Amino acid sequence: MYHNPVLLKQSVDDLVTNPDGIYVDCTFGGGGHSREILSRLSDKGKLFSFDQDLDALKNTIDDPRFTLINQNFRFLENSLLIYGVSQVDGILADLGVSSHQFDEAERGFSTRSNAPLDMRMNVMQGLDAKRVINDYDEEQLADIFYYYGELREARKLARDIVHHRKTKSIDTTEDLKKLFSYLPPHKVNKFYAQLFQAIRIEVNQELEVLKEMLVQAYNVLKSEGRLVVISYHSLEDRLVKRFLKNGMFEGEPERDIYGNYKKAFELVKSKAIIPDDKEIEENSRARSAKMRTGIKV
């Protein structure tokens, strides 16, 4: 099963303002958001959805208004041009890893199952978690754990891994977890969540891909087109928040003599939208979700 779409009504309410328009769902997955978007479109409307995971193709929607593109959303702009589309009315991206990917043990995303170290969203790509853990040097591993997992003990973790793999390859999720069996029980769940997140982000280049998508989204959106992004950890949300504010990921925009700068988007709401208690109770994976919506200036 693919996960229940998070913030379904709120996201599509923000997204669809023109029933005759062209829309993009960057993260098709089980198709929950796509189906809701289609329900809001007229016969003239169009929806293009992206997913690089071959499993997601099984969920395609039989609707003449719908096109499913088997591509990473980092290729958003060029992929749309293939279909003759240069501008769209709205773009939605739900950045969460699907429940399907977590629950398919052999994909190696979950901390709960013993599986090959994989974590590839696109199983056709070369880099997987096993290569990261066994081939990256100590400094590279430490940076990944620190910046992507926000683990303060990143240097020690990297050293432990490099020391262990000198005698035995680390091939499975259980092999990796055994290295840190000395952790106190009350810290285990959070630690493994952060560790696996860090490795997954590196394997799939998630933050770089997100940056590329956001820049292309701005390029293809019409004036007053809408960008809706649902993120699940602070690293993603920070990038989205900064980009919606000034079209940049770091540094400060150039200001005029009055201190004003050219905005990329107007925010629909100044603060992120989060799921209510009822949604979190029904879908625990919604608990860390934050949604931000910008209207292209």
Task: Give residue-wise pLDDT tens across range 61-97.
Answer: 999 999 999 999 999 999 999 999 999 999 999 997 7
Residues 279, 7: contact at Cβ < 8 Å?
yes
| Three-class HEC string of 134-197 | HHCCHHHHHHHHHHCCCCCCHHHHHHHHHHHHCCCCCCEHHHHHHCCCCCCHHHHHHHHHHHHH
Q: Which residues of 258-281 are buried (b: 16+ CB within 10 A; e: fewer)?
A: eeeeeebbeebeeebbbbeeebbe
Question: How far is 126 from 131, CA to CA, in rounded Å?
Answer: 9
Per-residue tens of pLDDT for the chain, all 297 residues: 556 899 999 999 999 999 999 999 999 989 999 999 999 999 999 999 999 888 888 899 999 999 999 999 999 999 999 999 999 999 999 997 754 454 555 565 677 678 999 999 888 889 999 999 999 999 999 999 999 999 999 999 999 999 999 999 999 999 999 999 899 989 999 999 999 999 999 999 999 999 999 999 999 999 999 999 999 999 999 999 999 998 999 888 888 888 888 889 999 999 999 999 999 999 888 999 999 999 999
pLDDT digits (tens, 9 = 90+) for 199-230: 999 999 999 999 999 999 999 999 999 999 99
Helices (H) and strands (E) in the chain, counts: 12, 7
Residues 207, 235: contact at Cβ < 8 Å?
yes
Q: Which helix (H) or strand (E) holds 91?
A: strand 88-94
- Token pair listed for 73: 């959303």
Please report, for residues 161, 228, 277, the alpha-carbon distance to residue 294 in angstroms, rounded to integers and kept in the order given: 42, 7, 25
Q: Which residues are annotated as a binding site?
A: 31-33, 51, 73, 94, 101
Q: Which residues are annotated as a binding site for S-adenosyl-L-methionine?
A: 31-33, 51, 73, 94, 101
Question: Pairing between strand 290-296 and 221-231?
Answer: antiparallel
Question: How far is 290 from 271, CA to CA, in rounded Å?
Answer: 9
- Token pair listed for 126: 């070369």
